[in-house]
Amino acid sequence: MAKLALCIEKNYLLSNVTLETKLYKGIFTVLDSFANIKYAPSGLISRTFAEKDENYLQLIPYVALRNRQTDKYFFYTRGELGGEGRLHGKVSIGIGGHIEEEPTPFKTDHKDSFKRTHITSLEAVCLEGICRELKEELGISDEVMEKSLADRVRFAFESSKVFYSSQDEVSRVHLGIFMTLDIDPEDIVNLEEGVITKGAWHTIEEIKTLQKQGQIDLEVWTKEFISLLEKNDF
């Protein structure tokens, strides 16, 4: 069975941008609040098709984890079992992946943590996707998620931004949902084997130094996210 991905049309994004767009050296980027696309028509599309058609953008939660005690961020190297082969070996700040469920008006009926707020079905399915990825990729337990983390995810999501870039072939068919989540490192108990490798906590300055020294190769979105963090956008 073909893998599916939740997508919106790129034209919808470009027609509803209110925050920032820029063209620099031929690279077009968009940064905006998720709130401005929360009513976007969306649907599941074959990932094979979506990878080839730049009219559709696959939604990708991209969560930066911040240590609540030290203010350091979790960085990792993408392993060979990750779904996007073009990013294998790259160092990333983002936890998350494709959303494979279609929004329905009834999603919030099944998630007590989310139904207290008035949110759209697209927001709800994105929140559920984020929580699922955190559990799958980091081994966060259902107990921790339900007891404390779900509310923090929801709070962080309210400040999330969508990011699009024409910089490379991966970026041109994906739309990042950038957000920062404060977390207790001890809640991370089991990194997804072959997907999340060489995980470590670093300050932004430490990771930039490693990049300058050629010890690591940061993926495009992580470079952009670091730039936003330095501007205190999260």
Mind listing the pLDDT tens digit for each residue in 158-199? 999 999 999 989 999 999 999 999 999 999 999 999 999 999
Domain ranges (residues) in the chain = 4-8+31-230
pLDDT band at 227 (very low <50, low <70, confident <90, very high): very high
Per the prediction, the chain carries an average pLDDT of 88
Closest CA to 62 of 31, 89, 36, 39: 31
User: What's the CA gap between 147 and 183, in Å, rounded?
Assistant: 13
Closest CA to 75 of 88, 65, 62: 65
Residue 108 has pLDDT above 70, yes or no: no
CATH topology of domain 4-8+31-230: Nucleoside Triphosphate Pyrophosphohydrolase (3.90.79)
pLDDT of residue 84: 62
pLDDT band at 107 (very low <50, low <70, confident <90, very high): very low
Sign of CA dihedral 115, 31, 71, 76: positive
Residue showing tokens 């983002």? 94
pLDDT tens by residue, 119-157: 789 999 999 999 999 999 999 999 999 988 999 999 999
12: which 2 tokens? Answer: 């919808």
pLDDT tens by residue, 74-87: 999 998 766 666 66
pLDDT tens by residue, 18-72: 888 887 777 889 999 999 999 999 999 999 999 999 999 999 999 999 998 898 9
User: What's the CA gap between 57 and 5, in Å, rounded?
Assistant: 9
Residue 207 has pLDDT above 70, yes or no: yes
> Which pairs with CB-CB distance under 8 Å and at least 24 residues apart come from 119-125?
119/38, 120/38, 120/39, 122/37, 122/38, 122/39, 122/40, 122/42, 123/34, 123/38, 123/157, 125/6, 125/99, 125/101
Q: What is the mean pLDDT of residues 7-19?
A: 92
Closest CA to 138 of 90, 76, 87, 180: 76
The answer to which of 69-73, 107-111, 224-228 has the lowest mean pLDDT is 107-111
pLDDT of residue 73: 98
pTM, rounded to two decimals: 0.89
Q: 20-24 and 91-92 as β-strands: parallel, antiparallel, unpaired?
A: unpaired
Q: How many CA atoms lie within 13 A of 66 on its CB side?
A: 14
Q: 161-165 and 174-183 as β-strands: parallel, antiparallel, unpaired?
A: antiparallel
Residue showing tokens 């991370």? 188
* Residues, the chain: 234
CA distances from 167 to 14, 41, 170 (A): 16, 25, 8
Q: How many CA atoms lie within 13 A of 143 on its CB side?
A: 3
